Amino acid sequence: MPLHSYEPRQGHRLPHDPFNAIVGPRPIGWISSISSSGVLNLAPYSFFNAFNYVPPIVGFASVGRKDSLNNIEATGEFVWNLASESLAEAMNQSCAAVGPEVNEFELAGLATEPSHLVRPPRVQASLVTMECRCTQIVQLQTAQGTQVPTWLVLGEVVKVHIDEQLLQDGIYQTAAGKPLLRGGGPGDYFTISEAGKFVMRRPT
Ligand SMILES: Cc1cc2nc3c(=O)[nH]c(=O)nc-3n(C[C@H](O)[C@H](O)[C@H](O)COP(=O)(O)O)c2cc1C
C-alpha cells in the first residue's frame, strides 16, 4: 500500500492537516475559570485528557496565551464540565474569541452552579463536573529544546459531581453522558453509543 509520509516541519502536503483527525476523537475539556478581578470564563479545549488515577489529574493545552491559562495561572483553580450532545451549541458559542472582560456563561446563555471547593462555578446543565486545583503549567518545547507558545495546564481533581442518572448500579455509564468528541477539520465531532462498546480485559 502506498504511504503518504511527511515530516510535519516541512508541511503535510494535504488540503487539511490530518494530525488532529488522526488523534481523535478527543474528549472536550470544557473549562471554567475566574479572573483575579472576578470575571467568569468558559472555553472548550480538545487537547484535553486525564493523566493520573490517584490523585486524579486532568490537563489541557492552551495553544497560545488564552484567558483560561491567564486565569488559572493567577488563581490556581478551574472546573472541568462535561459537554454533552445537548450542550453542543452552547459549547461552541463559548469558544468565541472575545476579550477577558466577557463572561462566556452569559454569552452562551448558560446558568452557573457554585463549586464547593474552588471559586470558578460549574456549568449547571453539565451532567458531570470536576473541581480542580492547578498542579503544574508546563510550556511545551520542540525536540531541539526551542520553546513553543503552548502551555499544558494540569490540575488535581479535588471534587467530582455526577448526575445520578449516569450511574447504573453504581457504575458510571460513559455513553449515557453523551460526551461530545472532537475530530479533525474545521468542525468534525463524533458521538458515542452503547452499541459501539465492547469489553476486553488485559492479559493476566
Ligand atoms: C471543540 C473545541 C476545541 C478546542 N480546543 C482547543 C485546544 O485544545 N486548545 C486551544 O488553545 N484552543 C482550543 N479551542 C479554541 C478555544 O476554545 C478558543 O480559543 C477560546 O476562545 C479560548 O477561550 P479563553 O481565551 O476564554 O480561554 C477549541 C475550540 C473548540 C470549539
* Nearest ligand 1 atom, CA 64: 11
Domain boundaries, the chain: 26-180
Pocket test of ligand 1: the residue of 95, 105, 139 to mutate, having most ligand atoms within 8 Å of its CB, is: 95
What single letter denotes the amino acid at residue 30? W
- Ligand 1 centroid to residue 166 C-alpha, Å: 27
User: What is the rounded distance in angstroms from the CA atom of residue 59 to the CA atom of residue 134?
Assistant: 9
Exposure b/e, 18-43, CB count within 10 A at least 16 = b:
eebeeebbbbbbbbbbbbeeebbbbb
Report whether 29 contacts 43 (CB < 8 A): no
What is the biggest distance separating any 2 CA atoms in the chain, rounded to whole angstroms?
A: 57
Q: Are strands 189-190 and 181-182 parallel, antiparallel or unpaired?
A: antiparallel
pLDDT of res. 172: 98
pLDDT of res. 109: 97
Q: Are strands 147-162 and 57-63 parallel, antiparallel or unpaired?
A: antiparallel
Superfamily of domain 26-180: Electron Transport, Fmn-binding Protein; Chain A (2.30.110.10)
pLDDT of res. 189: 98
pLDDT of res. 60: 98
Q: At 155, is the secondary structure helix, strand, or coil?
A: strand
- Ligand 1 centroid to residue 54 C-alpha, Å: 27
pLDDT of res. 1: 86
- Burial of residue 93, with CB atoms counted within 10 A of its CB: 0-12 exposed, 13-18 middle, 19 or more buried: middle
Low-confidence ranges of the chain (pLDDT < 50): none
C-alpha to C-alpha distances, 88 to 36, 124, 126, 177, 198, nearest whole angstrom: 28, 15, 11, 13, 26
Pocket test of ligand 1: the residue of 35, 66, 190 to mutate, having most ligand atoms within 8 Å of its CB, is: 66
Report whether 95 contacts 108 (CB < 8 A): no
